Amino acid sequence: MIEMIIDKLFDRVEHFGNVCIGLDTAPDYIPEAIKAQKENVQDRLFEFNRRIIDATKDIAACYKVQIAYYEAQGLRGLQAYAKTVSYIGDLKIPVIGDVKRGDIAKTAQMYAKAHFSGDFEVDAITVNPYLGIDTLEPYYDYLKKGKAIFVLLKTSNPGSGTVQNILSKDGKTVYETLGERLMEEGQQHMGSYSFSSVCAVVGCTHAQEGERLRQKMPNTFFLIPGYGAQGGKAEDLKGYLTNGNGGIVNSSRGIILAYRRDNPDNLPFDEASRRAAINMRDKIKQAAGRND
């Protein structure tokens, strides 16, 4: 029987909470101690990531690795990306490749192959649908094999409304219309917990819109960015979730740079990340009314 990553995500949220740790790792985030130990950027990036993963693997529901940070470092950076996602996969923890691919036909097929097999293989990726709904079609064969896609729907950036909030003739916004299509597309890819492998990215900086989308999209699992550094708060998240599940909440800099930001005890960077992840997890659980 094929293991669906959407079911594994649901189970991880049930047992560990909603925290998705974003490994958006830049060279200047890395402490001097690692720089002294590791000579090249590939080894430095991976060692930083590995220690954060090891410190938080019993807290995080999953990890999201933003490929742009690694592409910016050239071939060595991409080697660090591949090594990071492989390391997480070996731990049997879901990993999302934040690649935001958005193209059609053969090109999209190649993106799907690149990130659902081979050196960069992950469990799920982010996809940009604003070229049209046919951008999603090349990924569906991989969903049948257990993978998932997180489709940009209502994003967390301040300028998202420029396109996403445009009203159509029937009075619906672009993102609401797209949400309806995602629900339709997702019906063919349902998991055991009534959530689809066609998931959505819904930023927590737009709480009213997020709550409305949850009501309209009960079977769609959400990736919720914008927590912490972008201004999203735990109390905004209850409306995005269903009985505390149905979504993962991403934090990147708030966790991986915790050793620089709120570290009065001068903890090592990995221990500071662990403390930040626990604090985030507990705040979200409390806001969602989960006391487990």
Helix, strand, or coil here: 197? strand
Q: How far is CA 208 from CA 10, 165, 194, 213, 244, in A?
A: 24, 13, 24, 9, 17
Q: How far is CA 126 from CA 25, 162, 273, 291, in A?
A: 18, 20, 24, 31
Report which DSSP code applies to 183: H
Cβ atoms 239, 214 nearer than 8 A:
yes
CA–CA distance, 177 with 175 (Å, rounded to integer)? 5
- Residue position matching structure tokens 């080894």: 43
CA–CA distance, 200 with 198 (Å, rounded to integer)? 7
CA–CA distance, 245 with 262 (Å, rounded to integer)? 28
Two tokens, residue 150 = 């997180």
- Residue 285 belongs to what H/E stretch? helix 269-288
The one catalytic residue in 35, 38, 57, 100 is 100
Using only C-alpha atoms, the chain has a radius of gyration, in whole angstroms, of: 18
Residue 38 bears catalytic tag: no
CA–CA distance, 259 with 31 (Å, rounded to integer)? 9
Could you report how far apart the first and last alpha carbons of the chain are, in Å?
A: 30
**Residues that are catalytic:** 100
